Amino acid sequence: MTKMQVSATEFGVVRIFTVDISQDEIDAFIAANSDGQSPLSTALGATTLNPTYVEVFDIDDLEEMGLPRYMHEGIGISFDDVAQHRARLDQITGTVVIILSKAFAGTTQSLTPQAPLRWLGTYQEETPDRRIVKLQTDSANGVLTGPATKNRNPQLTLLWALLALPVVCIGFALLLWSFL
């Protein structure tokens, strides 16, 4: 029996299984009951499984794309990781279950997949290159300081506006009275 550990801090791990059920049984297989458990979570041995981060589909739905290309382009698994297993992945038929790390909701778990699941592999999503590059232009040099405008007190501004309002109204009334 295969055992898999899920850590609470796991990120970007993708587990792929085939499932030996008919198309008609897929919805019932992933649907949770009142306890939050589903036949899928039971077959995995998972205590927590968020179905939002689980994909279940028939390989035929991918048409010409195929599972290896979907893994790379749709999920973000590195091309090299997929290429190592391409021959085996191209042979897969039937229903596939793809489970992302987020499906385990940050809970430490020990998975023991059993029938109708058959484990195909565990893969890591590619992470983008996050190198910090120093800008080499004159405008990028220097140090930013505080705001260029004087920091004003909004309460004081409101007080001045309230005091000025009656003066403006009286001035407007005198102007209007002089024209009449």
Q: What is the pLDDT of residue 170?
A: 92
**Rounded to an integer, what is the distance from CA 160 to the centroid of its chain?**
50
pLDDT tens-place string over residues 26-42: 888 877 777 778 888 88
Average pLDDT taken over every residue of the chain: 84
Put simply, whether the predicted model's pTM sits higher than 0.75 gets the answer: no
Q: Is it the case that residue 108 has pLDDT exceeding 80?
A: yes
Tokens standing for 151? 């920091």
Give the number of other CB atoms < 10 A from CB of residue 6: 23
* Residues 120/43, Cβ–Cβ less than 8 Å: no
Contact indicator for 30, 54 with CB cutoff of 8 Å: yes
pLDDT of 39: 84
Cα Rg, the chain, nearest whole Å = 31
Per-residue model confidence as pLDDT tens digits over 119-165:
888 888 887 777 777 777 777 777 767 666 666 788 888 888 888 99
